[in-house]
Chain A
Amino acid sequence: MIVAEQKSLDELKTLIGSAEKVLVVGCGTCVTVCFAGGSREAAITSSSLRMATKLDGDPKQVSDVTVQRQCEWEYLDTIAEQVKEADVVLSLGCGIGVQAIAEHFPESWVVPGLNTTFLGLPVEQGVWAERCAACGDCILGLTGGICPIARCSKSLLNGPCGGSEGGHCEVSADIPCAWQLIYDRLSSQGKLHVLLDLQPPKNWRTSRDGGPRKIVREDLRLASQEG
């Protein structure tokens, strides 16, 4: 899932600026699951902003609404009226949600309420960790299902650097060394020979380095949209 965390109340107030009517828009998908921008967080953010602006002597009209997915046009259509009435839309979606609202409502001013952080999973209650860098050319089949692009601090492809010690990365004792994890996993499965092959330099064009990416599936497109 996409993992995000909330911006501080101070930053939200700065982003809202002089707007009077604020619409906080939550999203019912990834950011709900990571407790950053679902209906509950939208309601709390909304009431926090009401209280804070009142205490500041500049009370704002803040309301909130949550859609099932901010990243699909059909769900955004359901809040068109509320968006139109607001001076500013504070999206608690990920960066995709913020941009979807901006793109769908060209006349509205949209600001982000979250920092979109990574693609990952909850490793335990309250703890999320990065797992995928969306590089566009998955190599997990070579590394025992553990991604060195996302999880090695240097995205190395041919094994650990000299900074691996005691199972953790040189960057921090809180970061497990991805190559130690890969080594242990392949070792326990009797597949260490996989690590002896030289992996050539990666083709980063499938990653962001090739420019913004797009997928077109002709088999799924509607006749009216073709061409």
Chain B
Amino acid sequence: MSASTSNNGYLSGSNLERVLRAGHFAVTGELGPPQSADSEVIRKKAALLRGAVDAVNITDNQTAIVRMSSIGAGAILVQEGLEPVIQMTCRDRNRLAIQSDLLGAYALGMRNLLCLTGDHQTFGNHPNSKNVFDMDSIQMVRMVSAMRDEHVFQCGDPFKGPEPRFFVGAAESPFAAPVEFRPYRLAKKVKAGANFIQTQLVYDVPAFASFMEKVRELGLHKEVFILAGVGPLKGPGMARYMQESVPGILVPGELIERLEAAGAPWAGKSKDELTKEDKKARASAWQAEGIRICIELIQQLRQIEGVAGVHLMAIEWEEAVKPIVEGAGLLPRPVVEAKPAEMAGAEAAHG
């Protein structure tokens, strides 16, 4: 029995792959593991995401701060009945470690992988460490696709048993420099074998629409599932920080103004004049507006041809996920049963 028939014609058979290939508008979430060995944190966050998303990205030492490993946290998520998207960066592992960890991840039941370059280690809490960058994210996409489709390790040696079969993803930052090159970089990721793309956070829909126009010109939307990155803003401060300090994120002034307007009843008062209750009420007003904005963004992005879903990043605010997905009219999440093997050929030819 070949691996492809065992997956009924799917590349990986993951829930995310099934939802996307059935033509549903997909929703992925994100979970940041703790800076500790506490499994309960994962279980609590998993409970907030259950039923609201099709799969959950688990970050890999995000912003170069040491956290529980993506694969370790992913194993807990699998126990909890949720589907992880393992994030793997090129910063901390060479090609031996990446492949070996992925064999382990697959054996533990993980089926989706997002290949990333990784934030530079000087940002994090071990800035004196040595980095690896043995390969880049595009080379990683190629490597893991070949592990699945050509049954070989990066060195060319064939597998001596079942190969890991991941649904392979990559990221793209549509507004990072040089902006004109970004659609072509996406094309390189598709050429390397990417099955899905999750983008950097989008707040400027017209700018993203221009990016997608170029993507469609290159025909990429027919070769790869593109999930637009979205995330709720917690207030005008966060919005301004993202606009000013995070590479590749554009936050239009009107969104910042909307958040400011939501906090208007408390504006003009100094820190000391605001009571604890005032601050709490203001935060709630900001958050409610942030959630409204996020819902609107999802609805607008959904109208853009070639957008196959959204990747919802509610960083340390998992409580917001369900209201956003519900508000965007995307609940309940679809259940796509594995298709019988005889249909697989037609689907593969179509896909």
Contact = CB atoms under 8 A, between A and B. Distances in A.
Interface of A: 153-167, 170-171, 177, 179-180, 183-184, 192, 195-196, 198-202, 204
- Nearest 3 pairs of A and B residues by beta carbon: A162-B173, A165-B247, A158-B138
A114 B293 CA distance: 57
Main secondary structure of the interface of A (DSSP, over half): loop
Given A162-B200, A164-B177, 6 more contacts: A154-B120, A154-B131, A156-B136, A158-B137, A158-B138, A198-B142
A201 B135 contact: yes
B173 A200 contact: no
Interface stretch (B182-190, B208-216, B297-305, B319-327): B182-190
Given A170-B119, A171-B122, A160 B134 contact: no
B330 interface: no
B173 A201 contact: no
B248 interface: yes
B188 A161 contact: no
B192 A198 contact: yes
Given A154-B117, A171-B120, A163 B176 contact: yes
Given A155-B133, A196-B187, A167 B120 contact: no
Given A163-B120, A201-B95, A201-B154, A196 B136 contact: no
Given A163-B120, A164-B178, A183-B181, A157 B171 contact: no
Given A165-B247, A183-B181, A198-B188, A158 B120 contact: no
B139 interface: yes
Contacts of B171: 162
A180 B176 CA distance: 11
A159 B185 contact: yes
B136 A163 contact: no
A117 B185 CA distance: 33
B90 interface: yes
Which range holds the interface residue count of chain B? 35 or more
14 contacts: A154-B136, A158-B188, A160-B185, A161-B137, A163-B248, A165-B177, A170-B119, A171-B120, A192-B181, A195-B181, A198-B188, A200-B142, A201-B95, A201-B134
B342 to A, nearest CB: 35
B176 A160 contact: yes
A122 B303 CA distance: 53
B295 interface: no
A170 B118 CA distance: 11
A154 B154 contact: no
A154 B119 CA distance: 9
Contacts of A157: 136, 139
Contact of B117 (A161, A166, A200, A204): A161
A166 B133 CA distance: 23
A182 B138 CA distance: 18
Interface in B240-293: 247-248
A202 B138 CA distance: 12
Nearest to A167: B177
Contacts of A200: 139, 142
A5 B73 CA distance: 45
B91 interface: yes
Contact of B247 (A154, A158, A162, A183): A162
Contacts of B90: 154
Contacts of B191: 198
Given A165-B176, A165-B248, A160 B136 contact: no
Nearest to B122: A171
A154 B248 contact: no
Given A154-B136, A201-B154, A160 B120 contact: no
A99 B138 CA distance: 40
A183 B178 contact: yes
Interface string B86-99: 00001100010000
Nearest to B247: A165
A206 B138 CA distance: 22
A196 B184 contact: yes
B82 interface: no
A166 B136 CA distance: 22
Interface in B150-176: 154, 171-173, 176
Contacts of A160: 176-178, 181, 185
A180 B177 contact: yes
Contacts of B176: 160-165
A198 to B, nearest CB: 6
Nearest to A168: B177
Interface string B107-138: 00000000001111011000000010111111
A196 B186 CA distance: 10
Contacts of B139: 157-158, 198-201
Contacts of A177: 177
Contacts of A163: 119-120, 176, 247-248
